[in-house]
Each structure stands twice: as C-alpha cells, then as structure tokens.
C-alpha cells in the first residue's frame, strides 16, 4: 500500500474539521521532534518490552544491554512526548515484565517510577487481566496472566472523561457479593458508616439510590480483556479493547492521538473508529507498511 493512499486519509473530515492521520517511520525521538509542541491530546502506547523480542532493527528499543539503559531510553522518548502534548493531555503506557536470572525485574514499575522522578504525575495503575493468557510450564511460581497500564499526566488540571468509560453497576444485581443484598437499602446503620469507615464524609448514609450515577459506576482498575491477534502480524498486538477506554477518557471527539511505538497500527485504527486523528511512529519500515495497510483497510468502514 503506497504512502499516498494513507496520506489521502488526512482529507477525511469530522464535523467540518480536518483530522490528522499520519504514520511516521523512524526513530521515535527524532520523529517526535518534527511534531509541533502542545498539539497532542492523548498518548496511548505499548513500547517494545525489555529483552523480549527481536524487532529486526539495529536501533530498536528493548535490545539494550541492561535495564537501566532501557529505562533511560524510554524516559527520553516520553520527554519528547511531553513536549508535544497539550497541558491537559494524558499518557497511557502499557508495559509487560521480564524474568532474568531467576527473578522478576519489575520493569513496568521501574519505568513508572523513573517517569515520576522526571516530573510526570502518576495518576493510576491499571491491571490488564488476560483471561486467555498463554499457558506456562513453570512450576515454582504462579503463571503470569496480567500486565500493567499506567496513566500519567503533565499537570493536575488534565482532561479525563469519566462518563465516557463508565461500567455497569453491580450492586443489587445477581453479580453482587454484598452480604444482606437489598436489606441494606435505605436503612441507616446498615452500611459501614458506623463501622470501620465511621466519620468518612464520602459515604452515603444508606442512600444507595443517591450514590449511583445513572450512567454506571466509575471505571475500575482491573480490566479483563482477552489477548488479540491481527492475521498479517507475526507478533502479538495489544487489543483494541485495551486502547479504547484510554482514548475515550483522554480525549474529545476530533482530538489528536499519538502512539510513538505504533507496531501494527492498533492505536491508529481505534482512534479512527472513535472519531479522532492520529500520529503513529515506528522505527521498523515493515511495521510501518503493515500499519498503513491496516489503516487503509479500515478507513472505508470507520467513517
């Protein structure tokens, strides 16, 4: 698929405004330097994990000789991301961990704390629970079936649309695990106000009807999302369902989404489907072409 076809997608309009849709091929830091400051509304990305896979490029991230160098390189990338982000933008970062010499490296948290040290505000850690995680032959520890997704912000005054990603209420449904069921409803003293949470001003004094938002409950920090595949990719792709709430919560319709490690183009496809523009970057020419083909395949059905 030619670059011209992908560039033609930029002519797509949404409510009278031009949406930027661009795949940049090259080193993330150098490509980010071509983007004007304060233009990106949300960053959603899953960088190559440390020492996990050969992406067949001499300057690929993840092939560093030690964890410290890997973390330093990621910090440099996100420093440039921070420049191109608006003051109200957020960064959503998915990272997996790595065992080395018989012990877990704790890479997601080491990266998160390094970013925090460099001025990022760590607002949330999300557990991505994978119900269809690959089986493991390990016998001396639990099998890993989760990864981390971190939410960072530039300032305390950031954009976050909680209503766009609300979940169905569980209380008073067959899935509720609350002891006593509906007998708690409307009875003062029947809920924890007088127990271990006594004096907590956030409690509802047994008025469950007033505590419930009509659009659903606030999004929780454990997201159950199956692993995903894209037929043309010979590597794992992160699921569209993992990207979707990040974009919905972090940007308005018509906003601009950035993924500095685009891979097969998942972030771009989801951004298009949700009515956002996108900028995607990848160092591997093969992956850039794969992403462009995937974007072109979806462009006629998403708009």
Q: Return the domain boundaries, the chain.
A: 3-166+232-302
Q: Provide the Cα torsion 264, 22, 41, 270; round to 10°.
A: -40
Counting residues of the chain whose pLDDT is more than 70, the rounded percentage is 74
pLDDT at res. 10: 43
pLDDT at res. 265: 95
Rounded distance between C-alpha atoms, residue 298 and residue 290, angstroms: 13
Task: Give 114's Cβ-side CA count (13 Å radius).
Answer: 19
Instruction: List phi, psi (to 5°) of 280.
Output: -120, 140
pTM: predicted TM-score of the whole model, two decimal places: 0.84
Rounded distance between C-alpha atoms, residue 270 and residue 241, angstroms: 9
Each residue of 146-155: pLDDT tens digit?
999 999 999 9
Cβ 86 vs Cβ 40: under 8 Å = yes
Rounded distance between C-alpha atoms, residue 149 and residue 220, angstroms: 12
SS3 147: strand
Each residue of 118-146: pLDDT tens digit?
999 999 999 999 998 888 888 999 999 99
Cβ 274 vs Cβ 253: under 8 Å = yes
pLDDT at res. 14: 41
Pairing state of beta strands 222-224 and 146-153? unpaired
State mean pLDDT over 260-284. 96
| Mean pLDDT (the chain, rounded) | 84
Each residue of 164-179: pLDDT tens digit?
999 988 766 666 665 5
Q: CATH homologous superfamily of domain 3-166+232-302?
A: Vaccinia Virus protein VP39 (3.40.50.150)
Counting residues of the chain whose pLDDT is more than 90, the rounded percentage is 62
Contacts 24+ apart (CB under 8 A), 298-301: 298/269, 298/272, 298/273, 299/9, 299/12, 299/272
């Amino acid at each position: 698929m030619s670059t011209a076809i992908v560039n033609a997608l930029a002519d797509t309009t949404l409510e009278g405004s031009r949406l930027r849709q661009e795949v940049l091929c090259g080193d993330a830091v150098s490509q980010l330097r071509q983007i004007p400051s304060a233009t990106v509304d949300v960053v959603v990305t899953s960088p190559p994990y440390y020492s996990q896979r050969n992406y067949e490029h001499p300057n690929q991230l993840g092939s560093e000789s030690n964890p410290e160098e890997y973390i330093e390189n990621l910090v440099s990338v996100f420093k440039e991301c921070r420049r191109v982000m608006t003051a109200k933008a957020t960064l959503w970062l998915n990272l997996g961990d790595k065992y080395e010499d018989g012990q877990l490296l704790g890479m997601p948290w080491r990266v998160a704390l390094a970013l925090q040290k460099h001025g990022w505000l760590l607002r949330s850690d999300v557990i991505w629970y994978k119900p269809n995680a690959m089986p493991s032959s390990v016998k001396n520890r639990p099998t890993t079936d989760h990864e981390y997704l971190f939410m960072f912000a530039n300032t305390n005054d950031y954009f976050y649309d909680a209503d766009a990603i609300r979940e169905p209420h569980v209380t008073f449904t067959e899935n509720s695990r609350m002891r006593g069921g509906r007998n708690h409803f409307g009875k003062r003293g029947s809920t924890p106000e007088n127990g271990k949470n006594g004096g907590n001003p956030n409690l509802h004094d047994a008025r469950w009807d007033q505590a419930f938002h009509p659009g659903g409950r606030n999004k929780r920090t454990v997201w159950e999302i199956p692993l995903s595949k894209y037929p043309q990719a010979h590597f794992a792709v992160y699921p569209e369902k993992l990207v979707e709430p990040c974009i919905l919560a972090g940007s308005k319709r018509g906003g601009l989404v950035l993924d500095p490690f685009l891979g097969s183009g998942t972030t771009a496809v989801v951004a298009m489907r949700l009515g956002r523009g996108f900028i995607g970057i990848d160092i591997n020419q093969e992956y850039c072409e794969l992403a462009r083909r995937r974007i072109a395949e979806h462009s006629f059905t998403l708009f």
